[in-house]
Amino acid sequence: MTTGTRPAAVALLARAVRSALGETIATVDGMGGDELHAVAHPRANTPGWIAWHVFRTADVIGSRVGDAPELWAMRGYAAAWGLPREGNGSGQPTADAQALRLPSAEALALYGRELRDELSETVGALDGRGLDRRVSAFSGRDFSAADALHIFVVLHTVRHQGELNLTRTLLELGTPGGGA
Amino acid sequence: MPDTGPYTMQRFAVHFAGRVMDELIASVADLSDEELHALPAGAPNTIGFIAWHVLRSADNVVLFAFARERTVWMRQGLHEAWGLPRIEQGTGMEQAAAAAVRFPGATALADYGRAVRDEILPRIEAMSDEYLVGVARVVPWGEVPRLEAIGQTIIVHGSQHLGEIAVVRRLLGRDAPSF
């Protein structure tokens, strides 16, 4: 990549991070407690769990890319919500994921907004060395910061957004239906 | 293209577009005809329709919108063979009409997916930086940078629909990939 196009790609990545997380925030913000914790079918994750898992995953990767503490611990969310400081829910048994309780959609959306704002700023400030730097992700694997952000923040969030949209539909919460 | 090396737009686009295409193909390839067209209670679209819609979108963007060439869909005459629209790829289709779309089988749909993947990935890999940051007219967004069109249409749009497919597969009692 030339020096002229790398900033364009960084700007696209920062925008993608902001946009992907923003959609998840908007999808859960304003939900009632029953809706946030609703189980659409026996193998489904709740809307609250999906959004929490997306935010936690992005927070973990963001902290490693930015070499800074996770917001989850730093802002006291883990303690305030009575949830573990570590972990993002990956591999959690369905029953445990369905049992996760969050204080409210507003609190979850606030965590998401703080994360989105900090992370998109961090990504937008990355230079070539920052993008190529190796960071550890999950399961002991390491990636370039750029790939980690694409895989575990943008694509991971967007894919769960698809799950979240359909879960809202199954719960009759008003997700647009029809064609695709 | 290797997973390591300098962060280039081409590497990003080929890696992630390829990943989405591979997962789409895998998500339909093991389904029976019944599962491909199943509409479990509450689900708005069948897995077959969702996968076809994403594959057609990728085919349209890289072949037609970028290169003004005939799509794989048209070259193979699948619109006639399958009795489906020549141009439209499902965006905005009425729910009942989408649910009624029938495919000749998971193997045929997966084969179309492989043909699209094998056509578009080498093209993307060969695109210059200038070409990728240059704009193309893509319906319905208008003039957008080609990299953004690939990112939006294939990678982001495809990933979001993969999330839907995962839910429908679970509703059908099938394994779904862990994200």
Q: Which residues in chain A are closer than 8 Å to B152, comparing Cβ atoms?
A: none
Task: Give the mean pLDDT of chain B.
Answer: 92
Residue A180 located in a structural domain: no
Percent of chain B residues past pLDDT 70, beyond the cut: 94
One DSSP character per residue, A14-40 reads HHHHHHHHHHHHHHHTT--HHHHT--S
Tens digit of each residue's pLDDT (9 = 90 or more) over B154-167: 999 999 999 999 99
Q: Please tell me the predicted confidence (pLDDT) of residue A175.
A: 52
Q: Please tell me the predicted confidence (pLDDT) of residue A176.
A: 35
B97 touches chain A (CB under 8 A): yes
- Report CB contact under 8 Å: B163, A159: yes
Q: What is the distance between the alpha carbons of residues B145 and B165, in angstroms, rounded to a whole number?
A: 28
Residue A70 located in a structural domain: yes
Residue A166 located in a structural domain: yes
**Which of B161, B167, B171 has the most A C-beta neighbours within 10 Å, making it the best mutation to test the interface with A?**
B167
Closest CA to B172 of B5, B2, B26, B38: B38
Q: What is the distance between the alpha carbons of residues A74 and A62, in angstroms, rounded to a whole number?
A: 13
DSSP SS3 for A67: coil
Q: Please tell me the predicted confidence (pLDDT) of residue B7.
A: 67
A115 residue type, one letter? L
Judge residue A75's burial from the number of C-beta atoms within 10 Å of its C-beta, 0-12 exposed, 13-18 middle, 19 or more buried. Answer: middle
Look at chain A and report how many structural domains it folds into.
1
B170 touches chain A (CB under 8 A): yes
How high is the ipTM of this complex?
0.80
A158 touches chain B (CB under 8 A): yes
Q: Please tell me the predicted confidence (pLDDT) of residue B89.
A: 86
Residue A98 located in a structural domain: yes
Contacts of A28 (CB under 8 A, 6+ apart): A36, A47, A48, A51, A105, A108, A109, A112, A164
Which CATH number belongs to the domain containing residue A136 in this structure?
1.20.120.450
Q: Please tell me the predicted confidence (pLDDT) of residue B95.
A: 87
Percent of chain B residues past pLDDT 90, beyond the cut: 75
Chains A, B: CB contacts under 8 A, how many?
A: 128
Residue of chain A nearest B155, judged by CA positions: A155
Residue A150 located in a structural domain: yes
Q: Please tell me the predicted confidence (pLDDT) of residue B9.
A: 82
- Report CB contact under 8 Å: B12, A150: yes
Domain that holds residue A158: 3-170
pLDDT beneath 50: ranges in chain A: 1, 3, 176-180
In Å, how far are A130, A133, B65, B67 from B144, measured between CA atoms? 27, 30, 11, 14
φ, ψ dihedrals at B144, nearest 5° = -135, 150
Residue A145 located in a structural domain: yes
Tens digit of each residue's pLDDT (9 = 90 or more) over B1-50: 445 556 678 888 998 999 999 999 999 999 999 999 999 888 889 999 99
Q: Please tell me the predicted confidence (pLDDT) of residue B137.
A: 94
Residues B143-169, buried b or exposed e (16+ Cβ, 10 A)? ebbbbbbbbbbbbbbbbbbbbbbbbbb
Q: Which residues in chain B are closer than 8 Å to A156, comparing Cβ atoms?
A: 179
- Report CB contact under 8 Å: A131, B171: no
B91 touches chain A (CB under 8 A): yes
- Report CB contact under 8 Å: B160, A166: no
Residue A175 located in a structural domain: no
Q: What is the distance between the alpha carbons of residues A130 and A144, in angstroms, rounded to a whole number?
A: 9
Residue A30 located in a structural domain: yes
Residues B56-89, buried b or exposed e (16+ Cβ, 10 A)? bbbbbbbbbbbeeeebbbbebebbeebebeeeeb
Model-level pTM?
0.86
One DSSP character per residue, B72-108 reads HHHHTTHHHHHT--SS--STT--HHHHHH---S-HHH
Tens digit of each residue's pLDDT (9 = 90 or more) over B109-128: 999 999 999 999 999 999 99
Please report which confidence band the pLDDT of residue B139 belongs to, taking 50, 70 and 90 as the band edges.
Answer: confident
Residue of chain A nearest B162, judged by CA positions: A159
